[in-house]
Amino acid sequence: MTAKTAPKTYHVKSFGCQMNVYDGERMGELMAAQGLTATDDANAADLVVLNTCHIREKATEKVYSDIGRLRKHGANPMIAVAGCVAQAEGEEIAHRAKVDIVVGPQAYHNLPDLVAKATRGELGLDTDMPVLSKFGALPARRKVGPSAFLTVQEGCDKFCTYCVVPYTRGAEISRPWQALVDEAKSLVDAGAKEITLLGQNVNAWSDGDRDLGALIRELDRIPGLARIRYTTSHPNDMTQGLIDAHRDVEKLMPFLHLPVQSGSDRVLKAMNRSHSRDSYLRILDRVRAVRPDIALSGDFIVGFPGETEEEFADTLSLIDAVGYSLAFSFKYSPRPGTPAATMDGQIAPAVMDDRLQRLQAALNRDQAAFNATTVGRTCDVLIERPGKLPGQMLGKSPWLQSVHLMTAAQIGDIVEVEIVRADPNSLSGIETIRAAA
């Protein structure tokens, strides 16, 4: 590798989950603290960080084609591959794609050193997984939007047989209580009205005998913080304390993303999900008992190895039983090194396509039905950005729906809105009175 001029501008592009978005923001803050300037145009940046996702095939392919596109543009930026592809492929990716830096999700606090190395013409490689050192090494949060992420937990010990996360993000770790309370306060000072607590298994968060419900109750006390959310949860970690927080904490929004993946007990077992269809449904009953208006969201995989038509039908019937307000559904993608990748009975692509289509038709139907139930209701909307029309703003309902409205309110304000129309992916509302933000 040849030496490069030290970069003056940077661009971070994040793929995949919200945790990656959070990591991407933090890497940006780190570069800014080093005196680099952010640019929106990847083709104009001296340093491009591709913050990658490895959860499904296409995500990895996208990274390689992105690298190709950056190079084709004639510029010769310093390229850093971060995120889960960096962790999974390590040095391999540096050789295959000739990038300058490869940095894993637990090591990105070392980015300044890696940039210095790459400037000297050496490969900047760091895929170590030290426990927790990253967060202490990152600069304080200074300016954030009205809705901010806060990583409270990382990693996964569940080892679902299809999933790379336990390998790329490592074992479950929880950040300590006080660090989180402090970061939450600094986010609110920096402009956040809503905080979404993040973790691969966010509800597995604990510190001593305190669970996520206790942390939410503590954050509830922060003046100026209006809304609390958390994602993604695992059914086995839905503690009573967390369920009770949905009853008691008004700032905790009535929304629960609780992936189930399949409605068939045989498939759930083969996936090593450690919950059954029934135990999952019982958890939802308990949550609904304390918070009847809760909106439910899930993740689904179709075409897991060996999935029969009857087993797929079990997933459809579970969807009918729950009535999700939102859902994410995927075709099974074999991930190298995971047990399911070498299981018998891999499903033909055409069968997966057909099942995904039927699944999404059911989910879209339920999403539309849920949205329709909010018409005529009055709710608070947190204004997040301008809409497409002059005078129009876009915000979020408590149930995480996008709401369009005409208003003089500014980004970060919370306004009371009567929902007047539901479209498949968003709502329209009319401002009633302005509530205190």
Enumerate the known binding-site residues for [4Fe-4S] cluster: 17, 53, 84, 156, 160, 163
Pairing of strands 378-386, 414-422: antiparallel
Among 11, 234, 273, 335, binds ligand 5AD (CB under 6 A): 335
Q: Does 234 bind ligand SF4 (CB under 6 A)?
A: yes
Nearest residue (CB) to ligand 5AD, 56 versus 109: 56
Among ligand 5AD, ligand SF4, none, the one that 166 touches (CB under a kind-dependent 5 to 8 A) is: ligand SF4
Structure tokens that stand for 41 in this block: 């145009």
C-beta of 341: minimal distance to ligand SF4 in Å?
14
The minimum distance between CB 338 and ligand SF4, in angstroms, equals 9
Stretch 132-171: interaction string toward ligand SF4, x if CB under 6 A? ------------------------x-xxx--x-xx-----
155 contacts ligand 5AD (rule: CB under 6 A): no
Integer angstrom CA distances of residue 268 from 284, 301, 302, 315: 17, 11, 12, 10
Residue 335 binds which entry of ligand 5AD, ligand SF4, none, CB below 5-8 Å type-dependent: ligand 5AD
Asked if the peptide bond before residue 308 counts as cis, ω within 30 degrees of 0, the response is: no
3-state secondary structure 44-109: HCCEEEEEECCCCHHHHHHHHHHHHHHHHCCCCCEEEEEHHHHHHHCHHHHHHHCCCEEECCCCHH
Residue 415 CA to residue 393 CA, distance in Å, equals: 11
| Residues contacting 352, CB < 8 A, separation 6+ | 302, 303, 331, 332
Rounded to the nearest whole angstrom, what is the least distance from the CB of residue 154 to ligand SF4 in the complex? 10
CB of 192 to ligand 5AD, least distance (A): 24
Count of residues of this chain found to bind ligand 5AD when the rule CB under 6 A is applied: 12
Asked if 162 touches ligand 5AD (CB under 6 A), the answer is yes
Binding partner of 301, given ligand SF4, ligand 5AD, none, CB within 5-8 angstroms per partner class: ligand 5AD
Contact predicate 262/314, CB 8 Å:
yes
**Among 423, 422, 428, 403, which Cα is nearest to 414's?**
403
Kindly state whether residue 261 participates in binding ligand 5AD, applying the rule CB under 6 A. Answer: yes
Q: How far is the CB of 379 from ligand SF4 (least distance, A)?
A: 31
Binding mask 187-226 for ligand 5AD (x = CB under 6 A): ----------------------------------------
**CA 422-424-425 angle, 5° bins:** 95
Q: Tokens 């967060």 — which residue?
A: 135
What span, in angstroms and rounded, lies between the C-alpha atoms of 74 and 69? Answer: 9
Is the Cβ of residue 64 or residue 167 nearer to ligand SF4 in the bound state?
167
259 touches ligand 5AD by CB under 6 A: yes
Of 274-303, binders to ligand 5AD (CB under 6 A) are 299, 301
Contact (Cβ atoms closer than 8 angstroms) between residue 184 and residue 225: yes
81 dihedral zone (left: phi>0; alpha: psi -120 to 50; beta): beta
Binding residues vs ligand SF4 (CB under 6 A)? 156, 158-160, 163, 165-166, 200-201, 234
